[in-house]
Amino acid sequence: MGLFSNKNEGGLMDVIRCDEQEYLVHKWTPTGGANSTKKENSIRYGSSLRVKDGELAVFVYQQKDGSLHDYITGPYDQTIKSANFPILTNIVGLAFGGSSPFQAEIYFINLSGNVQIKFGIPYFDIYDPRFMDLGVPCTVRGTITFNVIDYKNFIKLNRLINFELDDFKNQIKDFFIRKTKSVVLNIPQDNNIPVMQIERKIDEISEIVQSRIKETMQDDFGVNLKRVDISTIELEKEHPHYQQLKKSTADQQTRTIEAQTGINITNLSESMRIQRKDTEMQVEGKNFTVHQLNQQADVLKTAAESLGEMGNIGGGGMNPAGMMTGMMLGGVMANQMGGMMNKINQTPPPPAPIILYHIALNGQQGGSHSFEQLQQLARSGQFTKAHHIWKEGMAAWDLASNVTELSQVFTVVPPPPPAP
């Protein structure tokens, strides 16, 4: 059987609820003149309890050895029943069969609302750890927001009876100002924030203050520090210590920049020296390879000249043995030169390969020439289509007129001069 049934035994029905719009703690009191002989905290028969969502109803039963509590969280809207009030059932339910009036203080606690407090900390001196003899006046202003989450801890730490929100907010404010002043005072040293930059670090300092104070506010007041919004951190710029600190900081920054510049120049010089040395070593290696290539070319040129003499044995006829020997020698020399070219190609940029053409006329060899040199010889009439030509990769000597790639050589040759 419930503590209150629907029978109207002994009095009018009360609706226990909180109609306040902005509150943190609200104490409910009975209404009307009925049962006026009873104490203020007497709960009438048939009373119903209405607790809104985000709200908590606390029933406080004063006992000789202290107080006991029943907690009803919203939403809740029904007649009080013993099943929902375990403490009350133990106190009066057994003695009076669950239908006896009882004495209880009823408080409503707002669990969904936020309480905001604006604060301002008067000027106090802060010190840059590099210039501890220069105290610069600083002021801090902003807003803090808190709410109640752990309501049992909140009730344990605060007297609900005669609770005044304004008094409670003043306690929170005084506590917060004292703690925040201590945190800001040590921020230059603890968080490596120069005093001259502290005005630009509002967001970072807000987070630091909240992290340092949040746990202490929960332990001391039972409230959750939801947010710290520092709107202003202001230094007294007309103070002589501020002016002196500003100059000293600028001088130190100049010295730091100069020192860093010197270090950068030294590093750059050393880097350039190393690069220059690497370049010299690469050039030396490349020059040595080119020198070897030139030596091989000289050997090939001499062998080719000898080949021409060998090919003229017997009154201008071709000597097959001499040609074979020359081709074999040319192949060997070509492979060696190709290897040398590969070495050169390993160092960028690689030189373009030079194709050498060997010319002969009437069994007399005229040396080896590049494509451009053949063009010059053709212009001067020293190289014609009647010459024989050979280059690396050709199986045998052939007339220049039969070599397709040399057709461009003869296109620029002027016609013969007119007869006298």
Is residue 57 a contact partner of residue 111, using CB atoms and an 8 Å limit?
A: no
The residue out of 219, 236, 253 marking a domain boundary is 236
User: Residue 131's domain is classified under what CATH number?
Assistant: 3.30.479.30
The reply to whether 81 and 126 lie within a common domain is: no
Residue 420 located in a structural domain: no
* Domain that residue 121 falls in: 115-236
420 residues of the chain, pLDDT tens digit each: 334 333 333 334 578 899 988 899 999 887 654 444 345 566 765 678 899 999 999 988 877 667 788 888 999 988 876 556 666 666 555 444 445 566 788 899 999 999 999 999 999 999 988 888 889 999 999 999 999 999 999 999 988 888 899 999 999 999 999 999 999 999 998 888 889 889 999 999 999 999 999 999 999 999 999 999 999 999 999 999 998 888 877 756 565 665 666 576 667 667 777 877 777 777 666 666 666 666 665 655 565 555 555 445 444 444 554 545 555 555 555 565 555 556 555 556 666 677 888 888 877 787 788 888 888 888 888 888 888 888 888 888 888 888 888 888 887 656 666 776
Do 214 and 321 belong to one domain?
A: no
Query: Is 242 inside any structural domain?
Result: no
Are both 138 and 178 inside the same structural domain?
yes
Residue 145 and residue 102 share a domain? no
Could you tell me if 317 and 214 lie in one domain? no
Clarify whether residues 99 and 171 are in a common domain. no
> Does 219 map to a domain?
yes
With H, G, I as helix, E, B as strand and everything else as coil, classify residue 126: strand
> Are 305 and 389 in the same domain?
yes
CA distances from 113 to 7, 72, 218, 225 (A): 37, 17, 17, 13
Same domain, residue pair 315 and 364: yes
Contact by Cβ (8 Å): 405, 388: no
Last residue of a domain, one of 236, 253, 284: 236
Q: Biggest alpha carbon distance in the chain? A: 158
What does the alpha-carbon distance between residue 378 and residue 50 come to, in Å, rounded to a whole number?
117
The owner of tokens 């009647």 is 386
User: Which of 68, 85, 110 is a domain's end point?
Assistant: 110
- d(Cα 3, Cα 16) in Å, to the nearest integer? 15
What does each C-alpha distance from 267 to 148, 272, 415 come to in angstroms?
A: 59, 9, 66
Q: What is the pLDDT of residue 105?
A: 86
Indicate the DSSP class of residue 17: -
> Does residue 269 sit within a domain?
no
92 and 165 part of one domain:
no
pTM: 0.54
Is residue 46 assigned to a domain? yes
pLDDT of residue 138: 95
316 with 404, same domain? yes
Residue 348 lies in a domain: yes
Tokens describing residue 120: 């301002």
Q: Which residues are CB-contacts of 187 (< 8 A; sequence separation ≥ 6)?
A: 126, 193, 198, 205, 208
Q: For residue 5, is it within any domain?
A: no
d(CA 2, CA 5): 6
Main-chain phi, psi angles of 206, to 5 degrees: -60, -45
Q: Are residues 128 and 92 in the same domain?
A: no
213 domain-assigned: yes
Same domain, residue pair 180 and 126: yes
Our count of domains for the chain comes to 3
